[in-house]
Amino acid sequence: MFSRSILRSFTSELRFTARSSISAAPLPQRACLHQTSWLRTTQQQSQSQSQSPNPESPLGATPRAQDTQPEIQQGSKAPSTPTSTSNTIIPQTRADVPIEKQPVAPNFDTPLEITKSLMSSLPHLAGQTPHYVVAELHARPYLLTAGDHIRLPFLMPKVKPGDILRFNRASAVGSRDFTLKGSPYVDERLFECRVRVTGTESEPLRIKEKTKRRQRHTKTAKSKHRYTIMRVMDVRVKTPEELLQEGAVVVEDTENTTKVEARS
């Protein structure tokens, strides 16, 4: 029994020493192979760098976007820039506005009669800008200057966005220091007030409940008002030269003649 236990312990010690020696022993052949392959790769990379100034990009790299403009060589044509195909022109003057969008010129049977006092004071009013006009529309006065936006409290029929209208009923036209008042209105041939329709607006739907005493039934009234939006394009007073070219006649002063009043 004693001999068998000694033999078992001796064999187990031999197995443990053999395993430790096998695991701790290096592999010179594999280490040499790995070292030689690393040397070969480094030599190849150094040769490729010496041959080409820029190293090759890896396979997984993506091409960079060009952030500079290409140089144009002499004799070559520059690349043509794309031109817009739209024929939209922003009107700058009255001549650029289409004929169907321009206001209709009024027709009068008798020429405009201007007194001598109005002819002498009209250049002072026409030369002082900007002008304002107190235009009346459906018995409501509107004080307007060039660039103002109007919100009419109703939906104007038979108008579209882009239409040009002319306000020809005004109770007063003036500037900073001078005012031309009418009786009751200023002649529309003395001034011009043109507006452009920009669109329409509508308020939110309003619902109002109506009830009566001793009545179980409740009525509901709905309302949704719509408005017309306009922009004042031009407000100006005509000069005496323009009025004479249009056929105005100079007459003597009377009691009911319109006069240009100067502010104190």
Where are the chain's structural domains?
A: 127-252
Q: Is the pLDDT of residue 35 over 90?
A: no
Answer yes or no: are the C-beta atoms of 142 and 81 closer than 8 Å.
no
What is the dihedral angle through the alpha carbons of 22, 23, 28, 33, rounded to the nearest 10 degrees? 130
Distances (CA, A) of 171 to 81, 135, 142, 158: 54, 7, 10, 26
Q: Is the pLDDT of residue 170 over 50?
A: yes
Rg (CA), the chain: 47
Spatial distance between the Cα atoms of 206 and 220, rounded to a whole number of angstroms: 10
Selection from 13-17, 94-98, 131-135 with the highest mean pLDDT: 131-135
Average pLDDT of the segment spanning 11-24: 55
Q: Determine the length of the chain.
A: 264
CA angle 193–184–194, rounded 5-degree value: 5
Tokens of 251: 């007459």
User: What is the pTM for the complete model shown?
Assistant: 0.57
Query: Which of the residue ranges 77-81, 102-106, 210-214, 255-259 would you say has the lowest mean pLDDT?
Result: 77-81
Chain centroid to Cα 226, Å, comes to: 24
Average pLDDT of the segment spanning 36-56: 57
Residue 32: predicted pLDDT? 46
Residues with Cβ < 8 Å from 164, sequence gap 6 or more?
97, 101, 102, 103, 194, 195, 196, 197, 233
Residue 212 three-state SS: coil
